[in-house]
Chain A
Amino acid sequence: GEDVEQSLFLSVREGDSSVINCTYTDSSSTYLYWYKQEPGAGLQLLTYIFSNMDMKQDQRLTVLLNKKDKHLSLRIADTQTGDSAIYFCAVRLSGGYQKVTFGIGTKLQVIP
């Protein structure tokens, strides 16, 4: 099955850029997602990218996809304390139904 890997922890200073990385194993992945989870809440979809795209930008968020290396990243520009949360990478394979494989989540700590 699909494996999705992320580092567990990232610490950045307020105002800096954050880059959260993710690798996956199955090259037939179609959609790739980033979710944010704040304490005590459910996962919130931030953005997603289709596998035929290399980059997607949405305000402070930039998603980069390197299909050759099976690497996905999320860049948050001008990181704020409100960005402190756990960020999950998730991948959906082609065919079949809507099943998505989630990574373990990266905890982002923003230092004021």
Chain B
Amino acid sequence: DAGVIQSPRHEVTEMGQEVTLRCKPISGHNSLFWYRQTMMRGLELLIYFNNNVPIDDSGMPEDRFSAKMPNASFSTLKIQPSEPRDSAVYFCASTPGASGEQYFGPGTRLTVT
């Protein structure tokens, strides 16, 4: 299995631009998570889906952030408009079932200038 796939691996953009991060979970996994990691705040859960349905988006920092999961094999995290304080590494993770262990993708390093 290829594991969780994220794209792009690196993104540099200017303030005000729209950014879309993509994730392909491991086939057969029923839950998907988006995290943000920074030195200051550590690993933060932004949103998670179960069977493609958003369950908890209380970690989404503000309305500029949105996430979708149109099918079991694809999810996006969009930031519009982006700001320099959004610079972070964004991880996607998926989990197969009852024991809840999460498998992380390699992350997308976002830099907003």
Q: Which of A31, A43, A102 has most B Cβ within 10 Å?
A: A43
Give the interface size bracket for A toward B. 20 to 34
Query: B50, A42: Cβ atoms under 8 Å?
Result: no
Nearest A residue to B109, CB-CB? A40
B interface list, Cβ under 8 A from A = 4, 31, 33, 42-43, 45, 48, 50, 55-56, 91, 93, 95, 99-107
Partner among A41, A97, A100, A104 whose Cβ is within 8 Å of the Cβ of B102: A100
Query: A97, B104: Cβ atoms under 8 Å?
Result: no
| Residues in A1-49 with C-beta less than 8 Å from chain B | 30-31, 33, 35, 41-45, 48
Q: Is A88 part of the contact surface with B, judged by Cβ < 8 Å?
A: yes
Contacts of A42 in B (CB 8 A): 4, 91, 93, 104-107
CB proximity of B41 to chain A, nearest CB, Å: 9
Q: Which of B33, B93, B100 has most A Cβ within 10 Å?
A: B100
Query: B99, A45: Cβ atoms under 8 Å?
Result: no
Q: Looking at chain B's contact residues, is the secondary structure mostly helix, strand, loop, or mixed?
A: strand
Tell me the bound Cα distance from A98 to B100 in angstroms.
5
A interface list, Cβ under 8 A from B = 30-31, 33, 35, 41-45, 48, 50, 88, 90, 92, 97-100, 102, 104-105
CB proximity of A4 to chain B, nearest CB, Å: 11
Query: B56, A99: Cβ atoms under 8 Å?
Result: yes
Q: A31-B99, A42-B91, A48-B99 are in contact. Are A99 and B104 (CB under 8 A)?
A: no
Partner among B4, B43, B45 whose Cβ is within 8 Å of the Cβ of A99: B45
Contacts of B93 in A (CB 8 A): 42-43
Q: Which of B43, B56, B95 has most A Cβ within 10 Å?
A: B43
Query: A98, B107: Cβ atoms under 8 Å?
Result: no
Contacts of A88 in B (CB 8 A): 43
Query: B100, A92: Cβ atoms under 8 Å?
Result: yes
Q: Which of B45, B50, B55, B101 has most A Cβ within 10 Å?
A: B101
Tell me the bound Cα distance from A31 to B99 in angstroms.
7
Subset of 12 A-B contacts with CB under 8 Å: A30-B100, A33-B101, A42-B4, A97-B55, A98-B31, A98-B48, A98-B50, A98-B100, A100-B100, A100-B102, A102-B45, A105-B43
